[in-house]
Amino acid sequence: TGGRRCRRLEGETARAVLANADTLLFDCDGVLWRGEAALSGAPAALGRLAAAGKRLCYVTNNSSRTRVAYTEKLRRLGFPPAEPRHVFGSAFCAARYLRQTLPPGAAAYVLGGPALAAELEAAGIPHLGPGPAALPGPAPADWAQAPLEPAVRAVLVGFDEHFSYAKLCQALRYLLRGPDCLLVGTNRDHRLPLEGGSAIPGTGCLVKAVETAAEREAFIVGKPSRYIFDCVASEFDIDPARTIMVGDRLDTDILMGNTCGLTTLLTLTGVSTLEEVRGHQESDCPARQSLVPDYYVDSIADLLPALED
């Protein structure tokens, strides 16, 4: 099929590819920073891109921060100033989806943290978590007697470090009321890597638990779903042919970029490796070809030489 080649982005090609782009979409963790530390050279590279007049947007599957919190983190780590409207986190985008989809006054039952609650409030979606609500009896079977809120028309699953069997029960009970109770997940990342090869379970594990109980598939807001790109395209005048998606994960960032017709750039500072790319390239499977980026760099700091005048 010809296919994407995953060439190193350097020299004249780098200048030409960047000159052709007016917008760059950045994944955050693994591309701009790891945890609380900016990746070396990343703030300088984004500073140059902003000075060159590029539009910079931030597209992250992490539902545990609000748009505003991301602008503060970017500033704290020395990145060029960003406004909340440039940040597309899966918490904000999930709230937007529910605002578009739910009838007026309908509420969401939420498995998630304070950032998800804050974005729902900003979008005007009534929401409830399990709260400390007294469970009516000691045994799980008694919990099926707990009161249900009649206004709930969606179950939303995001990153929830206090996920529990009791919450899973309540989510199932709302979903059993019928197909007009939506099931929405912020993202399917199943593992969040930590320094030193260790990892913690990601939101995908929680979404899977609810899907398994409810015997239905969630609508996913975050990458690789094109919904998160549609959010960007609805707020800015985006030409996919002049937009670069920069990410560290093949199955989220690169797949979304390829699906949406963007130029895709993999950075090797995060989850995915060049060996994985080569494996996909060698396979005949079309689904695996969609995981191959157009270009790669070791780090986005490698873009600096192409941005000098």
| Residue carrying the six token digits 């990458």 | 223
Q: Is residue 294 near Ca ion by the rule CB under 5 A? A: no
The one among 9, 27, 187, 277 contacting Ca ion by CB under 5 A: 27
The verdict on 27 binding ligand PLP (CB under 6 A) reads: yes
**Please, which residue, 29 or 119, has the CB nearer to Ca ion?**
29
Residue nearest Ca ion, Cβ-based: 30
Q: In the annotation, is 298 catalytic? A: no
Task: Please give the structure tokens belonging to residue 59.
Answer: 């597209």
Q: Which one, 30 or 293, has the nearer CB to Ca ion? A: 30
- The answer to the question of residue 243 lying near ligand PLP (CB under 6 A) is no
Binding segment toward ligand PLP, per CB under 6 A, in 9-17, 23-31, 71-79, 296-304? 23-31
- Map the footprint of ligand PLP across residues 197-236, applying CB under 6 A: 202-203
Both structure tokens of 198: 């260790």
244 to 273: interface string for Ca ion, x by CB under 5 A? ----x-------------------------
For the question of residue 29 being annotated catalytic, the response is yes
Torsion-angle region of 137 (φ positive above 0: left; ψ -120 to 50: alpha; else: beta): left
CB nearer ligand PLP, residue 29 or residue 294: 29
Under rule CB under 6 A, residue 64 binds ligand PLP: yes
Judged by beta carbon, residue 31 or residue 168, the one nearer ligand PLP is 31
SS (H, E, C) 103-147: CCCCEEEEECCHHHHHHHHHCCCCEECCCCCCCCCCCHHHHCCCC
User: 79 or 174, CB closer to Ca ion?
Assistant: 79
Q: Which residues are CB-neighbours of 206 under 8 A, at least 6 positions away?
A: 111, 157, 159, 160, 163
The answer to whether 66 contacts ligand PLP (rule: CB under 6 A) is no
User: Residue 149 contacts by C-beta under 8 Å, 6 or more apart in sequence?
Assistant: 107, 109, 128
With binding defined as CB under 6 A, does residue 119 bind ligand PLP?
no
- Closest CB to ligand PLP among 161 and 237? 161
Please return the burial class of 84, using the count of CB atoms within 10 Å of its CB with bins 0-12, 13-18 and 19+: middle
Residue 269 in the binding site for ligand PLP (CB under 6 A):
no
DSSP-derived secondary structure letter, 34? E
202 touches, from ligand PLP, Ca ion, none (C-beta below 5 to 8 Å by class): ligand PLP
d(CA 167, CA 210): 10
- Asked if 113 is part of the footprint of ligand PLP (rule: CB under 6 A), the reply reads no
Stretch that binds ligand PLP, among 2-10, 25-33, 128-136, 301-309 (CB under 6 A): 25-33
Of 27, 189, 253, 294, which is the active-site residue? 27
Sign of CA dihedral 250, 251, 253, 259: positive
DSSP letter, residue 88: E
Angle at 303 between CA 45 and CA 89, to 5 degrees: 55
Residues that bind ligand PLP (CB under 6 A): 27-30, 60-62, 64, 159, 187, 189, 192, 202-203
